[in-house]
Structure 1
């Protein structure tokens, strides 16, 4: 059964928030990360990253993969934040409207960054991503059983 320290889970959550995909090497208890190829499809892997991917291909059972939330999950998290934290009706309406735009994540971030809720959002999102890492860990352990 795989378990992570709070520090490891925090680190993985922080990397996911930066757009990375993380691989936890079980035997060495080490976190590897690289840009998520869905976001960085023109990104050239470094030789070290290529080596890590080769190791993962050779021994996939020795690695647990952690990925960022899907867009619908991100939207739900943003909606929950609006419902729970934003008290100003006009800002809440603007934020909800931003979620309907084509670049919804960017539009939401722009509005939040210009508001008094910026730090609340950063903390809320980080805590939700920490929960997300723990959910993925639980799924990994369940699949192993």
Structure 2
């Protein structure tokens, strides 16, 4: 990863990480550090196509006017799954029964939903949010520094 992490303020990285966590696609103007987002694929099933197109068109029109911008996609499902695995592996002690429940949850048919149910009903809920946010911020930084402008 690039050593100059001050190029992008933590508040911006944090905000973009929160957006992609919700399935949004973000665009960052690397000159002004303005960013905006559009609905990602996760919204396709829920969204009125005309409303989405109008919303996205407004953002795309603005982004098209930026000389230097980077598109930041949400993590793919295998990447999100890896974050859950890493959390279970590194953040919960082996003797805590929640660890086995989480491993069982992610081996089920709907692993994200099952994981969320177990984590939301455990003492690790906030720890999970903090862990995921930190990993998503790293993910954003990697995309920013590995992207040709």
| Common fold by TM > 0.5 | yes
TM-score normalized by the length of structure 2 = 0.81
Secondary structure, aligned partner of 1:39: helix
CA deviations over 1:89-145 (Å, ceiling 9, x no partner): 4321221121122321111011000000001101100000111111101111xx35x
RMSD between aligned alpha carbons? Answer: 2.4
Q: Following superposition, which runs of at least 4 residues in structure 1 exceed 4 angstroms of deviation?
A: 58-61
Q: Which consecutive unaligned segments of at least 5 residues does structure 1 have?
A: none
Alpha-carbon distance, 1:48 to partner: 4.8
TM-score by length of 1: 0.83
CA distance change for structure 1 residues 45 and 27 in 2, over 3 Å: closer, same or farther? farther
Determine the C-alpha separation between the residues in 2 that align with 1:110 and 1:41.
Answer: 24
SS of match in other structure, 1:45: helix
1:29 CA displacement: 2.5
Aligned length: 140
CA contact (8 A) 2:26 2:37 kept: yes
Is 1:74 matched with 2:77?
Answer: no
SS at match of 2:132: helix
- 1:27 is displaced (CA, Å) by 4.1
Specify the alignment match of 1:11 in structure 2. 15
Distance 2:92 2:126 in 1: 12
Q: What residue ranges of structure 2 are gaps of 5+ in the alignment? A: 1-6
Per-residue deviation, 1:31: 0.7
